[in-house]
Structure 1
């Protein structure tokens, strides 16, 4: 059972060897793991599958209540399946896989679990279970159980952590948006920005990734009218968050009057539609990932002259998790996000390491540890 995996082993030295973990996960090869395209859902399904498979074998005895504690605040960064001290990841397609480790430096000997007898489990002892799943058949192709040291020695050091800010929109707050006039929470521009705006303008010849221009910056009221008619009620196919975000970016940019191609929305950057100083987000769960900039802290925005993280406009589309339909919108300057919702007090961060897909190709049909 998955819940059996959330307690660490009775002794730090009792973890099952990685080679045995790989052997126990061998039955996953060929099993179906249906991909929904939603990152969190697919990740949770894999975690449950791995947990159930490991729990069917001989797990180390569980630590008794009161004999251990998570050292990181709120357990951030601690591996999901504590009993065997593993984290699980889905690998699909492409030329390389970008391994992202949240809220801990996987190469460091920082303490994650501390026992009352002084024993510890460290960040660099976590085992990574990487499961490659075929995107067409939805069947498991291979399993790799890797240690941080192996990853560093084979593929190089993990990248410098990148900061990620988050905003919480609770179910109650979402309901307030749905019940607002037009299912939209709207607040106008800062007066210093408002005096630079226009009510209408032809944007068909403009690059929406370009810097804001005098005489071509739409007022928030103009954007509000466009959003009300084109975004609320629209369906964004519920795929991985980034893909849905790109779909929203394309929808909004086109609605504003820009000529947009699929390649345009792959560029990224902040804010998404820089020409209008407009950042767009899709949200179907309590947490909204804000990225590098957070309106909680004011700072100048590169490539967006005259705007700070507080005056940049935010459009957050609240979509139904099942249908992908946009049921409500938040449209306001960044300075007002904190008035409406709650910032996560602690910043999250991630360390990344690219692994060539050729590595997984060599393990087709296998479950191996540090090959």
Structure 2
């Protein structure tokens, strides 16, 4: 059974005259399908379809046709060679029998969606997974996949600092209506009017984490240390449950990205904080959410007796990030056409 949001958007598309090539503003509440709902709609319709015995080209067309039906679009007689192929909703489709994902002749985009369709040995569709380019980048073991950004803090003496005293202009009207949220709300939920804290409120709650100690866990355990800090951040913000869906930003409900540093170099991955591109988040009171609207909580820690002690905390909007943090290394680009997927990824 489809969720109310997924069913509503599909019904809206069905009753419209939109084609799969008509651009939908990212986050549009009526027609944009967020990634979670996209995966839900495609799974509901495609899982179980049998592609046995079909030539590759025919199989590809049938899959794309069924994808259209799943989302409420009328399938075209022939599919245009656009980039991405489903340009209106900004996603590409890859049918996978093996764990070797091949992306030909283009870079992986951090904001594009990639629909991975698993078929078993009998050529029956068994699983759908929707991921964004930043998730795919983490699967590359060579570190050479498309663009990766880094920054460094230079010359700031304070141990605790609110660099951005107000949120971005586009977010201020929404954030000014903050009235709190239920403690059982999940931090991975979409942000809504009345529940999005002002950046100053986030600062007041998170600065208390300075001085906290985390288990070091070893030099190669950055991800696990980050998960521990993420949990502490959620608790400090007032959530009774910790949930990390692995997507940007870390605390989606508060448009907050969390970084734990044991060196001055900040790994930003594929997301450039100052980018004005729209995120795959439903609009808030008709306002699209951009990458630069996200708030960055930067925690610096020092290793003491097999523990990481949080010594510094900074909070800043993506829009003002490079006023205080210096970008270096530029963007590293390397076209890599094959990405090995983990055995349990699909």
Taking structure 2 as the reference length, the TM-score comes to: 0.51
Taking structure 1 as the reference length, the TM-score comes to: 0.47
Residue 333 of structure 1, CA deviation: 0.6
Q: Contact (CA 8 Å) 2:212, 2:309: kept in 1 or not?
A: yes
Change in CA separation of 1:166 and 1:278 when aligned onto 2, cut-off 3 Å: same
Residue 341 of structure 1, CA deviation: 1.1
- Equivalent residue number for residue 22 of structure 2: none
Q: Distance in 1 between matches of 2:237 and 2:141?
A: 34
Deviation sequence 1:296-355 (CA, Å, 0-9, x none): 432111125322111111101111134411111111111111000111242246865467
Deviation sequence 1:226-280 (CA, Å, 0-9, x none): 0122x1111222231111111111111111111224xx23x21000101111111
- Equivalent residue number for residue 161 of structure 2: 184
Change in CA separation of 1:347 and 1:255 when aligned onto 2, cut-off 3 Å: same
Structure whose CA Rg is larger: 1
Runs of 5+ unmatched residues, structure 2: 1-138
SS of corresponding position for 1:255: helix
- Equivalent residue number for residue 165 of structure 1: 149
**1:311 and 2:290 matched:** no
Q: Distance in 2 between matches of 1:220 and 1:355?
A: 37
- Equivalent residue number for residue 38 of structure 2: none
Q: Distance in 2 between matches of 1:219 and 1:309?
A: 17
- Equivalent residue number for residue 228 of structure 1: 207
Q: Contact (CA 8 Å) 1:203, 1:256: kept in 2 or not?
A: no
SS of corresponding position for 1:310: helix
1:204 to 183, 187, 199: 183
Q: Contact (CA 8 Å) 2:281, 2:289: kept in 1 or not?
A: no
- Equivalent residue number for residue 251 of structure 1: 232
Q: Distance in 2 between matches of 1:99 and 1:314?
A: 25
Residue 165 of structure 1, CA deviation: 1.7
SS of corresponding position for 1:195: helix
Give the superposed CA RMSD.
2.6
2:312 to 313, 328, 347: 328
- Total equivalences in the alignment: 193
1:293 to 271, 280, 287: 271
Deviation sequence 1:26-57 (CA, Å, 0-9, x none): xxxxxxxxxxxxxxxxxxxxxxxxxxxxxxxx
Deviation sequence 1:213-233 (CA, Å, 0-9, x none): 01111111111110122x111
**1:276 and 2:254 matched:** yes
Q: Contact (CA 8 Å) 1:200, 1:222: kept in 2 or not?
A: no
SS of corresponding position for 1:246: helix
Runs of 5+ unmatched residues, structure 1: 1-97, 104-160, 358-371
Shift >6 Å, 4+ stretches: none
- Equivalent residue number for residue 8 of structure 1: none
Residue 196 of structure 1, CA deviation: 1.2
2:194 to 194, 215, 220: 215
SS of corresponding position for 1:275: helix
